[in-house]
Chains A and B, each alone.
Chain A
Amino acid sequence: AQTVTQSQPEMSVQEAETVTLSCTYDTSESDYYLFWYKQPPSRQMILVIRQEAYKQQNATENRFSVNFQKAAKSFSLKISDSQLGDAAMYFCAYRGDNQGGKLIFGQGTELSVKP
């Protein structure tokens, strides 16, 4: 069975600085998707960034980028120029090929941003 592990329960970053959140996963599949979702206090999960396993190029969305290491089964999220609005729970998630709406989430990392 696939598993997703986030080993950092809490992280803190100074406003305008850069922070990296870690995620590792375990799978025997070769095709899959990886996601980072943000969950602010409003509780709504918001997609931050997505990576297809078959793509070697790391995904980037404005200030958010990932470091995808397929062989190491690692998928870290880098947030550059951190803003106060980035404070939230961040979840790493895995979806196997043809798994529809079934995501497997990690335990989450709570990010705080200091002014």
Chain B
Amino acid sequence: DAGVTQSPTHLIKTRGQQVTLRCSPKSGHDTVSWYQQALGQGPQFIFQYYEEEERQRGNFPDRFSGHQFPNYSSELNVNALLLGDSALYLCASSLVGDLLFTGELFFGEGSRLTVL
């Protein structure tokens, strides 16, 4: 049973470019949340997707956008990259029913983005 998988694992971009990160949730899960983890910090919530719609959003600018596909996989897009966007981007999945009662998230290993 595959867990949460993310791609790519590492990537380097330059300021002003755009990036797309991908996430496949754990088998059977239907919700995906994205987090940004700067070096030496705890993860910060970006947004959550369920039924192909953004359901919750953290304090991130509109440069951060996402999408969820019918197979529950998800993409995170960041436009007009800034140096400060350099971070580990974590994807987490859950089954929406479990989320209501337990709050447990299953995380992937993340995509390390470096902006030069």
Contact = CB atoms under 8 A, between A and B. Distances in A.
Interface residues of A, number: 25
Interface stretch (A66-74, A77-85, A93-101): A93-101
Interface in B96-116: 96, 99-100, 102-110
23 contacts: A35-B103, A43-B90, A44-B109, A45-B43, A45-B90, A45-B92, A45-B105, A47-B104, A47-B105, A47-B106, A91-B43, A95-B103, A100-B31, A100-B50, A100-B56, A100-B99, A101-B33, A101-B56, A102-B33, A102-B48, A105-B42, A105-B44, A108-B41
Given A100-B56, A101-B48, A101-B56, A50 B42 contact: no
Nearest to B48: A101
A91 B43 CA distance: 9
Interface of A: 4, 33, 35, 37, 42-47, 50, 91, 93, 95, 98-108
A1 to B, nearest CB: 9
B54 to A, nearest CB: 11
